[in-house]
Amino acid sequence: MKFFIDTANLDQITEAQNLGILDGVTTNPSLMAKEGITGNSNIFNHYKKICEIVDGDVSAEVISTEFNGMVEEGNHLSKISDQIVVKIPMTKNGVKALKYFSNNNIKTNCTLIFSPGQALLAAKAGADYVSPFIGRLDDITSDGLSLISEIRQVFDNYNFKTEILSASIRHNMHIIDCAKIGSDVVTAPLSSIVGLLNHPLTDSGLKKFLDDHKKGN
Ligand code: E4P
């Protein structure tokens, strides 16, 4: 399973990259705003910086909701680097844009996926990734992980190449459950990724090893 980090924070991206487990980055307009990155040229330059830090795919979201605008923005963003994956919302115009970019060999990530039908449409249109939002479904007392299972089944039935990029991760167990289901990718905050490191038996076991080593010296 690939690990993407879900942030526009350069320090956190660098930390995850240095850990040696990072396969890519996802951002969205809210994450950009959280870092105080505003204005089209600043956002464009920020994507450049992210691409310089990581080796893998970097999702860059379009703002336009019109087909022509999505195409224009996506073409512009894709010139930054081969790493750029144009992130397109799940709308009728979005599906048309997915098809356009697929025909033009530009990678895409279809975002705001909340049903298997939406994922199926995005896959049919040639999306490289679909991003089902687990946490936001859980937030409304729905079952985010069931959506991942359903999409897995649909994609496996027809051998779709589109990768399931589980998003809106809220905690460590979401990552583990996604891995069990067979999600291709998980995008998570740094805290959830490094949270996987922790186990009290590891801490107490290491302490005992080091204490015993001291006694023997
Ligand atoms: C990533 O591609 C999504 O935009 C992100 O995971 C959404 O997460 P949120 O529901 O915590 O905003």
Residue pLDDT, tens place only, 46-95 = 999 999 999 999 999 999 999 999 999 999 999 999 999 999 999 999 99
Residue pLDDT, tens place only, 126-163 = 999 999 999 999 999 999 999 999 999 999 999 999 99
Q: What residues are annotated to the active site?
A: 87
Shortest-distance atom of ligand 1 to CA 87: 2
> CA-CA distance, 198 to 88, in Å (whole number)?
35
The residue ranges of every structural domain in the chain are 2-215
| Residue 7 CA to ligand 1 centre (angstroms) | 9
- Counting every residue, how long is the chain? 217
pLDDT score for 113: 98
Find the residues whose C-beta lies inside 6 A of ligand 1: 6, 26, 28, 111, 131, 133, 135-136, 167-168, 187
β-strand 24-26 against 129-132: which pairing, if any? unpaired
pLDDT score for 95: 98
* Closest residue to atom 5 of ligand 1, CA basis: 168
pLDDT score for 75: 98
> CA-CA distance, 17 to 162, in Å (whole number)?
24
Percent of the chain scored above 70 by pLDDT? Answer: 100
Statement: residue 165 has pLDDT above 90: yes
> CA-CA distance, 114 to 198, in Å (whole number)?
31
Which of 4, 23, 28 has the most ligand 1 atoms within 8 A of CB, as the residue to mutate?
28
172, 192 contact by CB (below 8 A) = yes
CA distances from 127 to 35, 102, 215 (A): 28, 7, 59
pLDDT score for 217: 79
Which of 147, 168, 175, 191 has the most ligand 1 atoms within 8 A of CB, as the residue to mutate?
168
Looking at residues 106-135, what average pLDDT do you find? 98
Amino acid at 83: Q
Statement: residue 216 has pLDDT above 90: no
CATH code for the part of the protein at 2-215: 3.20.20.70
Shortest-distance atom of ligand 1 to CA 111: 2
Looking at residues 6-35, what average pLDDT do you find? 97
Percent of the chain scored above 90 by pLDDT? Answer: 99
Tell me, rounded to whole angstroms, the distance of Cα 184 from its chain centroid: 10
| Among candidate residues 144, 187, 143, 185, the one with its CA nearest the CA of residue 28 | 187
Residue pLDDT, tens place only, 69-78 = 999 999 999 9
Place of tokens 């089209």: 40
| Residue 66 CA to ligand 1 centre (angstroms) | 22
110: left (phi over 0), alpha (psi -120 to 50) or beta: beta
